Chain A
């Protein structure tokens, strides 16, 4: 069964300025001593002692202001950041749609990009090649698929990226805002596809500022503030704690 368990998960980023990052300073720090106290550098704590368990069927909404730690939390869920202290155990196949254009190369053709991304999803090169017709059909790229991606309009690039990123059925799906791409016709099609992916996923995590979206797709919510988990409950409970007492659906 897919699951996510965070125990006192803390993510602290050391901020190195040009000085702190040089070898010279580290050597001097070890040898000297006087400089070391202040040369230790600044640390940004993006997540602080987060405890959280997600199980099959959980649809988690993450709310919080900019810089509250939503994206960092998503990156911990994806396994990209292993907590600097505490633990994160993630069981299951994770799809993280934080940056859907990840790893796409403008010099490669659409088809080559599909294969490259397919292999990153854990497919063999042959299996990835078999994805091409379906992805091309969905993204409506037509003959452009054999041209280098740099010749695409930005809309076409996004369509391709979206079609590739959603061509799988993960156990755990991580979303930073609902992705919307393309014109209205394509957007509707894309919405349908991502909803199907959400339904199939055993665990869904959605970070959003849109109360309406969160109410529609989620059954549990947490609120982040300055890297701490400050509220955990149903979507309505957390949203009202967040200051959205009014039942009006709107942007937070």
Chain B
């Protein structure tokens, strides 16, 4: 079995992507239904997402600010922004493991673009992100954080993060459909990544080795280009370059893999 995609594979993969993007109504609706379904019969509905985030940030914020000897007013906003962005990133990666398996009934019956199922994961997590962002204005108000114009830079940061998220979802989705041990491995790696990413702690607490954690950990890179602007800091150019490199590497791995195995996904379900 050759691992090299044929020219037909490439064109079908590109067609899948183009058609998938055009079917935005399908993936938007699927993503919204996923969230609706999860909270359907509860009183607060999807605002449980917001509430859970508020409880976590409040609780951990107070405990860790004491632990790290930092003022609550400084630490809680720091943690809130980081943790909200982290929740999106980790949510995408962990949902990506079931992206195609979840769509089994659809994939077995109809010729739907496979990229629809990756976009569904993104939409679902974007909705959760939107609900989590609700806690930021009150947190900023309570602790007197004044956002600066730098917050606008969060938009290109988010755009780059979404591109990476789409590629990761396709990549993990394909591999996890084929190798059913991978979802467990990924769940464990995510946990590890949580501690290796400056979410609860600050990078200067690491000392000199901090530079490596920041620039070799893709989660830290994307966290900086989205979270820093929200807090009012302008990310370094190097951060954007690093993010672009990560996207480039993901593209170089994911697209050939998708071209070669796109048609096999349904056989592995």
Contact = CB atoms under 8 A, between A and B. Distances in A.
Given A75-B109, A103-B106, A125-B29, A22 B37 contact: no
Given A79-B111, A80-B266, A23 B106 contact: no
A23 B185 contact: yes
Contacts of A148: 40
Contacts of B25: 119, 124-125
A23 B182 contact: yes
B179 A78 contact: no
Contact residues on B (Cβ < 8 Å of other chain), bracket: 20 to 34
Interface string B80-119: 0000000000000000000000000111111110000000
If over half of B's interface residues share one DSSP class (helix, strand or loop), that class is named, otherwise mixed; here it is helix
A96 interface: yes
A99 B185 CA distance: 34
Contact of A82 (B30, B112, B263): B263
Interface in A99-117: 99, 102-103, 105, 107-108, 112, 115-116
Interface string B170-211: 000000001111100100000000000000000000000000
B212 interface: no
Interface string B31-59: 00100110011000000000000000000
B29 A80 contact: no
A81 B178 CA distance: 16
Contacts of A79: 110-111
A158 B66 CA distance: 59
Interface string A127-142: 0000000000000000
Given A78-B110, A84-B267, A105-B37, A22 B105 contact: no
A96 B109 contact: yes
Contacts of A112: 33
A193 to B, nearest CB: 20
B33 A105 contact: yes
Contacts of B253: none
A178 interface: no
Residue with the highest number of chain A CB atoms closer than 10 Å, among B33, B105, B106, B178: B33
Given A81-B267, A124-B25, A102 B109 contact: yes
B267 A14 contact: yes
Interface residues of A, number: 34
Contact of A107 (B37, B109, B112): B37
A80 B107 contact: yes
Interface in B201-246: none
B181 A24 contact: yes
Contacts of B178: 21
A165 to B, nearest CB: 11
A32 B210 CA distance: 39
A22 B109 contact: no
Given A78-B109, A80-B266, A94-B110, 11 more contacts: A16-B268, A21-B178, A21-B179, A22-B180, A22-B181, A23-B185, A81-B266, A94-B111, A107-B41, A116-B33, A125-B29
Interface of B: 25-26, 29-30, 33, 36-37, 40-41, 105-112, 178-182, 185, 263-264, 266-268
6 contacts: A23-B182, A78-B109, A81-B267, A103-B105, A108-B33, A120-B112
